[in-house]
Amino acid sequence: MKREAAEALSKAQEDFEKDNYTIVVYDAYRPQMTVDYFVNWTLDLNDTVHKAEYYPFLNKDQLIPDYIAPKSGHTKGYSVDMTIAMIGSQIMNKGWYPRILKDGSQIYFLEDGTIDMGSSFDFFGNVSHHNSSEVDQKYIVLRNYLASIMIKNGFEPLHEEWWHYNLKNTTSDTLYNFTIVAPPAITQSTTPVHQSGNVLDEPTRLRKASDLYYSRSALCFLLILAQID
């Protein structure tokens, strides 16, 4: 992330810690080559691996631009996909579980040790909208709490994705395209989420639940990345 974004996230961490929470970062800086890969992935209509888990009610050609943008704030170093967990929680992939929404439809929810926000990170659909009518009010309360701390510290939410925040009042539109491979101490898995045979390697993204990094060690890592400015 750019320095100002990483420092703002660090301040948000201090506020969350007052309530015994810690930030969990799913995705931060993302090189343009990865964004290009996502866009190309949407064009491969034969690759529907993980459709049931991530976009059961949409076709691939409906994912752009609301959920996958050709130009992303992640590439500029100003965006973060994040949530929170109780301090001391074990962050790991614990499995997918069916969940019935208020409208009677079913989705799959990934239990990963973070606070349950009603839908999983990267679930593309109305249920992931901040004020979705498809989830119980308890999840809206948690999403609003998350947003309140992030907004207080200079970020703005993306309506379609409860986990996505952009730093406000940014100063650069540069799209970066250098790769980052996380140190082994931070990640344990390098398995791609979308296994379509593309040469792009997911270690540049830290996408999977098993690759999560969090708390102060993560924020120190983000501050190291902030040197790109």
User: Where along the chain do its domains lie?
Assistant: 3-228
> Coil, helix or strand for 43?
helix
User: Would you tell me which CATH number, out of the four given (3.50.50.60, 3.40.190.10, 3.40.50.720, 3.30.1380.10), belongs to the domain 3-228?
Assistant: 3.30.1380.10
Single pTM value for the model: 0.81
Give the least confident one: 74-83, 186-195, 216-225.
186-195
CB 175 within 8 A of CB 32: yes
Q: How many residues in the chain?
A: 229
Q: What is the pLDDT of residues 21-52, one digit of tens each?
A: 999 999 999 999 999 999 999 999 999 999 99
**% of the chain exceeding 90 in pLDDT:** 73
Pairing, β 21-27 against β 213-214: antiparallel
Average pLDDT over residues 53-77: 93
Residue 20 and residue 39: Cα distance in Å, rounded? 38
Average pLDDT over residues 122-127: 97
Residue 194 and residue 100: Cα distance in Å, rounded? 25
